[in-house]
Chains A and B, each alone.
Chain A
Amino acid sequence: MKESDLNQIWQQNQRSATDHYQKIAPEMENLMHSKPSGVLYKIFRNLKYEIILTIAMLILILLVTTPDDMLFWIIVVGGGMALAFYIKMYLNLRKAIREVNQHNLLASLIEYIQILSQYIKRLKIYTYFFTPLGYFLGASAVLLENINEKTQAEIIRDGITFLIVSIPVLIGLIYFTNKKYVKWLYGRHLEELRNIKEQLSK
């Protein structure tokens, strides 16, 4: 077996390619107007949904609070910052998606890995910080609502019950979303891309 044999076999490819193309050519317009299924597009779509959801949640929360409440302004500032962050990431991603595939393979892989890493990092921040924070704030608000009507012993009992119930739930939630969900969605893919990049530049 020589290299020239490989080239000769490779030239025979043309017929199979033509046969296949003749089959799909009539469907071309349908095919190209389908939604792309690449990972970046999925992240892009996720971000779009997150922006819509954040706006809806903000409106809902602001409807049940009043400007006199401290909570109102915390939501306005915090929610506004989160929204700005989402929109910035959305716009950056939209720009990157338009260009990323047109770079050379090495540059494209580097950019692709960077986008994916940033997104996973953001998901981790949300999982490790915002999820427990939101959970404890929400639960504390419920516990403190009737604090004046309770004795000290009842407050301690409720607090301990809350911790016993919530800590396993929270750990389970964090474990599932981070270790399993994120890794299943993007982690393995990111690892594979890093390997390809390493091997390409080796």
Chain B
Amino acid sequence: MRSFKSIIDQHYPILYKIGKAYSEDSFDFEDLYQEMLIQIWQSLKNFKAQSKLSTWIYKVALNTALTYKRRNYRKEQFVQEEMYKDLAEYNVQGQEHSQEERQIEMLYQAIKELNKDERAIILLHLEGKKYEEMAEITGLKVSHIGVKLLRIKRKLLEVLKLKGYERV
């Protein structure tokens, strides 16, 4: 538990950003965040140190997000509402505050307009990952990453323009 905690202490921003980019609302976000934590916890004993720990965490977390199936909230929302009440309130407050937070929220909204595969690539790029590491995480060729990334960046900037980013 202690080692797991220390790993998450170092890598929690990855989970947060992936969770935000792949969830539809705050309940969905908490659900996905928890699922990523469980997957990392359960897979940790199989980590073979063939790649960097952060690369491995990106793989597990992104795989979880890509294959994540949204729950049926009509049935489960009531139960979850109490459980996530504080966190949901926290998220709503976060959306209402500073311009900095509004900018981040706008960027996430634009990212959510992208396809799921595109979200993975733009996240890795924004995180400052090199093409080689992005290729290792996604399984695509380095040259392919370059072409896709160019297309995705154009699309993202276009979405931001359409959403009126300048007005934020």
Residues of A in contact with B (beta carbons under 8 Å apart): 1, 3, 6-7, 9-10, 12-14, 16-21, 23-24, 28-29, 31-32, 34, 36-40, 98-109, 112, 189, 193, 196, 199-201
Contact = CB atoms under 8 A, between A and B. Distances in A.
Interface in B89-146: 90, 94, 100-101, 103-104, 107, 115-118, 120, 126-128, 136-140
Given A20-B16, A31-B38, A10 B67 contact: no
Q: Which of B8, B16, B67: most chain A Cβ within 10 A? A: B67
Contacts of B137: 104-105
Interface of B: 1, 4-5, 8, 12-13, 16-17, 31, 33-35, 37-39, 41-43, 46-47, 56, 59-60, 62-64, 66-69, 71, 86-87, 90, 94, 100-101, 103-104, 107, 115-118, 120, 126-128, 136-140, 153, 156-157, 160-161, 165-166
Contacts of B116: 196, 199
Contact of B139 (A36, A99, A105): A105
A28 B160 CA distance: 35
B38 to A, nearest CB: 5
Nearest to B76: A37
A191 B71 CA distance: 17
B104 A1 contact: no
Contacts of A108: 59, 63, 66-67
A114 to B, nearest CB: 13
A17 B17 contact: yes
A43 to B, nearest CB: 11
A44 to B, nearest CB: 12
A102 B126 contact: no
A12 B166 CA distance: 17
B71 A19 contact: no
Given A12-B103, A105-B62, A109-B67, A23 B13 contact: no
Given A102-B59, A103-B59, A104-B136, A13 B16 contact: yes
B120 A105 contact: yes
Nearest to B59: A102
5 closest A-B pairs by beta carbon, nearest first, are A106-B139, A104-B139, A17-B16, A200-B117, A17-B13
Contacts of B63: 100-103, 105, 108
A31 B166 CA distance: 39
B16 A21 contact: yes
B136 to A, nearest CB: 7
A36 B71 CA distance: 12
Given A28-B37, A104-B139, 14 more contacts: A16-B94, A19-B90, A20-B90, A21-B12, A23-B90, A28-B8, A34-B34, A38-B64, A102-B46, A102-B47, A107-B139, A199-B115, A199-B118, A200-B138
A107 B68 CA distance: 16
Contacts of B68: 38
Contacts of B157: 1, 3, 6
